[in-house]
Amino acid sequence: MVDCPNCGTEVAVAVKCWTVSPAKHTATGDIPEFRVGIFKCPKCKSKFRSRVSSTSKPAETKNVKNLVEKVKEIREGLTQTLRTLREKINTLETERASLLVEIEQLKKVAESRANALEGEVKQLREEIKSLKELLGGNEEID
């Protein structure tokens, strides 16, 4: 908060502000940095320069803070998404592996059944053959 030198109205936020590092050093040590801002009076529209108190935070810093917060949120969201996707991929890979095992087992079952049927068909053919021989080579059977 600074007062307008023209009309005395309080101006809350600087239009622009920056940090000043004094070049001169005192005998006792460094002069601390301070911030200077350009203010625009909302009442008389006059622009003036003033030192900004360290407690009041300029609008720009707030915006940057909001931005940083937003970027952090987005990054956390992305991390969450990546974690979810990784878990999903893991689950799907496990499922795929177990399905492949199941398919392999079913294939084996089907193969052994096909083999058994083949054997049965072969046996039935031989039975027919021997029956035909028993009937004296007669091709026509009623």
Binding window for Zn ion (CB under 5 A); candidates: 7-15, 48-56, 63-71, 79-87 = 7-15
By CB under 5 A, tell whether 68 contacts Zn ion: no
Q: How far is CA 26 from CA 23, 53, 72, 110, in A?
A: 10, 21, 41, 95
Which residue among 1, 7, 101, 103 contacts Zn ion (CB under 5 A)?
Answer: 7
Site for Zn ion in 108-127 (CB under 5 A): none
Residue 12 or 110 with smaller CB distance to Zn ion: 12
Q: Which two tokens stand for residue 59?
A: 């609008």
* Residue number, 50 or 56, with CB nearest to Zn ion: 50
Q: What stretch of H or E contains 18?
A: strand 16-20
Q: Considering the complex, what minimum distance in angstroms separates the CB of residue 20 from Zn ion?
A: 24
Site for Zn ion in 25-54 (CB under 5 A): 41, 43-44
8 Å CB contact between 7 and 18:
no
* Contact (CB, 8 A) for 2 and 39: yes
> Is residue 9 a contact point for Zn ion (CB under 5 A)?
yes
* 39: number of Cβ within 10 Å: 22
